[in-house]
Amino acid sequence: MATSSERSPPPFPDSEDQDVLDAEEVRGRDSDEDEDLFGTTIDRSEVTAGVIDPLSQQEAKQTSTAPVIDLSGDSQPVTSKIADPLVDLFSDAPPAAEAKKPSSANVDLFDDEEGSDIFAEPLQTKPAKQPQKSLFGEPDEDVFGEPLGAISKKPVPKELKEKSVTTKVTAGGPLQDSKPADIFSQAAASTPSVTSTVNPKTNGVHSEEDGDIFAEATVELSLDSPRNERKKEATAKPSAPAPTSLPAAASLAKPQPPALEEVRDGMNAYMAYKVSTQTTLPMFRNKTFTVRRRFSDFLGLYEKLSEKHGPNGFIVPPPPEKSLLGMTKVKVGKEDSSSTDFVERRRGALERYLQRVVNHPSLLQDPDVREFLEREELPRAVSTQALSGAGFLKMINKATDAVSKMTIKMNESDVWFEEKLQEVESADQQFRKLHALVESLVVHRKELSLNTASFAKSAAMLGSAEDNTALSRALSQLAEVEDKMEQLHQEQAASDTFTFAEMIADYIRLLGAVRGSFDHRMKAWQRWQDAQSMLQKKRETEAKLLWANKPDKLQLAKEEIAEWEAKVTQYERDFERVSATVRKEVIRFEREKTKNCKRQVITYLECLLQSQQQVSESAFSYS
Amino acid sequence: MMEEVKETASVLSVHDDSIKVTEVLKDGDTLTFIIVSQKLSGTGEYHVDRTYEDFEWLQQHLFSQGDVPGIQGVIFPPLPAKPQVNASPRSIKQLGFLALGECQPYCKALETFLQQVAAHSILSKNKAVEVFLTSSDPPGRQKVKKNIFNRLSQAVEEMRKEGHKDVDEFFQNERDHNLVLTGCTKTAAEKFLDVVATEQKIAVACGHFSTALHLCVEPGEDPDKQAFSRVCVKLSEVFESIKKNMTSVAENNVNTLGLGLDLESRYQEAEREMLFRRTCKLVELENAQRNVEKAKPVKKAAMEEVKKAAETEFEHTSGVAKQEVKSTINNCIPHFHVSFHSGLVC
């Protein structure tokens, strides 16, 4: 059941719908102000202009009904919408059936839901983030009972300046409507983020039980670094300002005190990342817990997940790559900006990776994931080491895979898949290009800040050498202004990097994973076809034997035929299942992509606006 | 910084600050500049077209005024380096700011040169200036032989004489100060050039990014796709405008602060040269004095004469130099200051 944790932003353009939907949200999101849904206020910036769509309105309407009906009141403690004035209205709207079905048995059911969800989603994500406005307070997203497990992201009001995403992942058996609010604070967030609430679709599938099973897992990855201030900024999630009166179900992400650990052990030094989770899911032992993990642990998790779920057609999110150069530099203790950059990038990437894993409803069910998040000590994942035996084995496997991919000519019956594959390919290309361009932009900005700094210095020198006092004063002022500008440029470069380039890089990796799932589907098809041809051969043998009249061998042949028939049917079913999963996954992926992109873009633009303002302020202050 | 010519008997018949280099025409490899100046008496304008060689001709004539007393004490307004249509990296470096942008900074620099020449009390008296500005025929292109600025020999002696201690405190201070200032201004100009170049690079990168985003647009009915496309389009527009902003910022910078710094630095160079010339004269004088003391009575008279000549020359030079230096302070700085302020607000 992959989809349940989809985030589909609730289509609530206006407050009312919002409220309805909110009813049960656990969202602990602070933005309770619920400003009214994105739609209305946003238009401020041209960027968001197009976003609010009437479509969202419709969506809102659609979904709003459901939750209201179902609410049974108690179930969700979450309903507390906290401070929202609007919330009060609906305070207890029971969440519409939100049950997320963890099991894949209900896949088909959700498929439909999913379809409708998709549409609601993208539009929501673009609430305009007006820099000074607290935009959307969508308090509890989860109101919509979405069988698929709505993940609601609450938009954070700008004032909060946080970037937090509340995602509710409802998973687990008796889930019901409660929409857990998952609040993921993205570590690097220092700007307001738009959280879109997922629009749970009430899918009559679930009854709202008043259980309170909120699957909320907030995974917050904080990289503790010796450079505290930096990390603090990174990890000082918005949660700080977030009021979050959390309903029981909601979990707020709280900033963790940064403390990246570097375990020194000569050349075996490694960086330990602190992974903090806040959750209300019953399947975890505690409500919050923290563990230390190494990079190879993350890779190990990925290995396990992809082995288990990949062949079934799931898109397993990939972690960042190993980078020998980067880590060696850090180990050697080089304290320059490139190594801090590298560490920061990696940390952000790992955090997003974990968040994606947790958001995927079926992956979350995997005991490995739970273990990863909870267990104190994980066995060293040696299979991820590049130069080990397992590493070589992996390489060989990859090579054979590549070869077989080239030779398998799939008879594509479903044109949808073909189209999708095309899209994925072209998207991959585009993203790669974009990534290269963004990186070059970042390089230039860094250069600009360097040059500005040296110009400031030389202007200062000139100012002191000049004996004409007026001019000298002017020059020193110029030097100061330029200094400030340098800082701004530096920051701008950083934000470029972290919001943009990283996101694009993430997507390039994800697209690779998507292609991987397509490949798995192809392999399933191949198996099926092979089985069919085998069956054919067996039948021929049987016919021959019949004709040759050898009764004993005939029996054997018949048995084999029966066996192969069973296999054929099973493989065929497998194939169908995998296809369906892939389809679902891809749709979900696309939705996610759009949502995330919007969010990131908005954040980036806000940041840009801010820095431009600062630049012009400092320029004016000079004169 | 263009002061009005105060002298009554000015040969020049145009207003010095009305001189403008309005246009530049590109004709293959040669650039022709159109110079417009207002007549002093009555109304009317002189329109002349000149090439860079004509400017050089003018400069040569100015240099070769050996008969004017104290000519060596004059800080000659600096002429920008020769422009080239297809510039080599070295010449671009030489031109510095003047190579950026279209011809605008360069024209401004030429304009400033002419204005400074016309406003100079001594230089404007030279007939060549009048001819240059008013005659419709291009001035003669023949090389003027006598040139007090023989660069080659200067270079060799420079090292030796540069450090020669001065008799006059005023001048010694000025020399030291000038040395420091020249270095600083040059550095500042270079660094600023770097800044502007980077800004231009950023603008270009933004442009590329914006185009690439445009290509990301996916057609389709799917609302997801549409939303994504919308995002891309908007973002691409944003980057396009960032690019435009950056470009104009860079342009502004060049036209104001960049130009000012460039001018200032060239002027400092010219001043340095003048001071050097004066130092040379000083050395000459001292040599002459020593010769007089050492000379045998037979030669004594001759030496005395030489010494006297040297002395007079030196005094003239110093006198003019002092004036120049003092007026420089009033001339250049305000100009620089103005370009500063306008350059800041980008």
Q: What is the pLDDT of residues A295-318, one digit of tens each?
A: 888 888 888 887 877 777 777 777
Cβ-based neighbours of A308, under 8 Å, separated by 6 or more: A366, A368
Question: Cβ contact (<8 Å) for B202 and A471?
Answer: no
CA–CA dist B25, A21 (Å, integer) = 70
Select the residue of A434, A468, A619 nearest B346 (Cβ to Cβ).
Answer: A619
Amino acid at the residue B283: V
Residue listed under structure tokens 């399933």: A524
Question: Cβ contact (<8 Å) for B209 and A601?
Answer: no
pLDDT at A342 over 50: yes
CA–CA dist B14, B253 (Å, integer) = 31
| A219-266 residue pLDDT tens | 444 443 322 222 222 232 223 223 222 222 222 222 232 234 555 555
Q: Which structure tokens are listed for A35? A: 């400003």
Residue listed under structure tokens 């799939």: A410
Question: Cβ contact (<8 Å) for A46 and B228?
Answer: no
Runs of H (alpha helix) within A143-284: 228-235
Q: What is the pLDDT at residue A339?
A: 67
Nearest to A125 by CA among A116, A136, A140, A115: A136
For chain B, the distance separating the N- and C-terminal CA atoms, rounded to the nearest angstrom, is: 24
Give me the DSSP letters along A58-108. Answer: HHHHHHHHHHHHH--SSS-GGG--TT-HHHHHHTTPPPP------SGGGHH
Residue listed under structure tokens 């080089």: A334
Select the residue of B201, B218, B224 nearest A122 (Cβ to Cβ).
Answer: B224
CA distance B85 to chain A (A): 28
Q: What is the pLDDT at residue B304?
A: 77
Nearest to B178 by CA among A374, A465, A308, A313: A465
Q: What is the pLDDT at residue A174?
A: 37
Mean pLDDT of A375-400: 68
Neighbouring-strand partners of residue A164: A185
Q: What is the pLDDT at residue A78?
A: 35
CA–CA dist A370, B128 (Å, integer) = 91
**In the Cβ-directed half-sphere of B179, how many Cα atoms lie within 13 Å?**
8
From chain A, pick out residues whose CB is under 8 angstroms from the CB of B344: 478, 481, 619, 622-623
Helix or strand run (H / E) with residue B34: strand B30-38
Phi first, then psi, for residue A191 (nearest 5°) are -125, 160
Nearest to A76 by CA among A22, A121, A130: A22
CA–CA dist A572, A551 (Å, integer) = 31
From chain B, pick out residues whose CB is under 8 angstroms from the CB of A126: 227, 231
B 173-232: CB under 8 A from A: 177, 180-181, 184-185, 187-188, 190-192, 194-195, 198-199, 201-202, 205-206, 208-209, 212-213, 215-216, 218, 223-228, 230-231
Q: Which DSSP state fits A321?
A: P
Q: Which structure tokens are listed for A199? A: 């629009």
Burial of B15 (0-12, 13-18, 19+ CB in 10 A): middle
CA distance B71 to chain A (A): 27
Residues in chain B predicted with pLDDT less than 70, given as ranges, are 1-17, 42, 66-72, 83-103, 138-163, 218-221, 325-346
Q: Which structure tokens are listed for A269? A: 């030094």
Q: Which structure tokens are listed for B279? A: 């130092």
| A102-112 residue pLDDT tens | 333 333 333 33
Size of the A and B interface in Cβ pairs below 8 Å: 138
Q: What is the pLDDT at residue A127?
A: 35
Neighbouring-strand partners of residue B32: B25, B51
What rounded mean pLDDT belongs to chain A? 59
pLDDT at A200 over 50: no
CA–CA dist B114, B15 (Å, integer) = 11
CA–CA dist A102, A106 (Å, integer) = 8
Q: Which structure tokens are listed for B25? A: 């025409």
From chain A, pick out residues whose CB is under 8 angstroms from the CB of B212: 430, 433-434, 437
CA–CA dist A496, A548 (Å, integer) = 76
Asked if A615 and B199 touch (Cβ cutoff 8 Å), the reply is: no
Nearest to B237 by CA among B247, B249, B229: B229
Q: Which structure tokens are listed for A578? A: 């995998």
Nearest to A250 by CA among A355, A153, A162: A153
CA distance B193 to chain A (A): 9
Could you give the dihedral angle defined by the CA atoms of residues B4, B8, B12 and B14, in that order, rounded to the nearest 10 degrees? 50
Burial of B82 (0-12, 13-18, 19+ CB in 10 A): middle
The nearest alpha carbon in chain B to A446 belongs to B198
Radius of gyration (C-alpha) of chain A in whole angstroms: 27
Asked if B226 and A497 touch (Cβ cutoff 8 Å), the reply is: no
From chain A, pick out residues whose CB is under 8 angstroms from the CB of B227: 51, 122-123, 125-126, 594, 598
- Model-level pTM greater than 0.80? no
Nearest to B124 by CA among B276, B272, B270, B13: B13
Q: What is the pLDDT at residue A269?
A: 66
From chain B, pick out residues whose CB is under 8 angstroms from the CB of A440: 205, 208
CA–CA dist B259, B277 (Å, integer) = 27
Question: Cβ contact (<8 Å) for B195 and A452?
Answer: yes
C-alpha angle A19/A24/A26, rounded to 5°?
Answer: 110
CA–CA dist A152, A144 (Å, integer) = 9
Amino acid at the residue B242: I
From chain A, pick out residues whose CB is under 8 angstroms from the CB of B181: 462, 465-466
Select the residue of A118, A430, A444 nearest B205 (Cβ to Cβ).
Answer: A444
Q: Which structure tokens are listed for A75? A: 């179930």
CA–CA dist A212, A77 (Å, integer) = 7
pLDDT at A64 over 70: no
CA–CA dist A494, A500 (Å, integer) = 10
Chain-centre distance for alpha carbon A312: 21
* Residue B294 sits at the chain A interface (C-beta within 8 Å): no
Asked if A157 and A137 touch (Cβ cutoff 8 Å), the reply is: yes
pLDDT at A432 over 70: yes
Question: If you count them, how many residues does chain A have?
Answer: 623
From chain A, pick out residues whose CB is under 8 angstroms from the CB of B192: 455
From chain A, pick out residues whose CB is under 8 angstroms from the CB of B215: 430, 433
Mean pLDDT of A513-525: 81
Asked if A231 and A344 touch (Cβ cutoff 8 Å), the reply is: no
Do the bridges between strand A270-279 and strand A288-294 make them parallel or antiparallel, or are there none, so unpaired? antiparallel
pLDDT at A365 over 50: yes
Nearest to A150 by CA among A184, A201, A103, A116: A201
B 11-30: CB under 8 A from A: none
pLDDT at A88 over 60: no
CA distance B201 to chain A (A): 7
Question: If you count them, how many residues does chain B have?
Answer: 346
CA–CA dist A215, A33 (Å, integer) = 24
pLDDT at A208 over 60: no
| A531-576 residue pLDDT tens | 888 888 888 888 888 887 777 777 888 888 888 888 888 888 888 8
Burial of A580 (0-12, 13-18, 19+ CB in 10 A): middle
CA–CA dist A525, A518 (Å, integer) = 11
Cβ-based neighbours of A281, under 8 Å, separated by 6 or more: A169, A171, A172, A180, A213, A214, A215, A216, A217
Confidence of residue A80 (pLDDT cuts 50, 70, 90): very low
pLDDT at A89 over 50: no
